[in-house]
Amino acid sequence: MPLCHISLRAGKPESYRQAIFNQLARAMHETFNVPEDDQFMAITEHEAASFRFSTTYLGVARSADIVYIQITANNTRSIEQKKALFRRIAELLAYQPGIRPEDVFVNLVEVEKENWSLGNGLAQYA
């Protein structure tokens, strides 16, 4: 039950944002075994003055098209699954909507399964 927060510079068309949603869901389905109907994502757009990033940190040449993707998920995946997820997200976003792999910044936040309530005030996984 990943929860995804995506941040990017303002000004991209709806089709671009929808492609991010679609490709991110596909990558999680393929590498993290997330069900196809398990899609909880939000995009936040920022004006240039409110969006900062390093263009060179760790030798990665980033552009103003950088996209931050923060995924909160259960702490049940292996390191190999995490590596596969990061790689697949970059591959799919390069294909559509055309984001350079250098501009795909992913942060995975892992939590215990009992830390979720998916509605009705219940702890469904506890």
Catalogue the active-site residues: 2
Distance of CA 99 to the CA centre of its chain: 13
Q: Which long-range contacts (CB under 8 A, 24 or more apart) does 32-36 make?
A: 32/2, 32/73, 32/77, 32/81, 32/85, 34/1, 34/2
Closest CA to 100 of 70, 76, 65, 73: 65
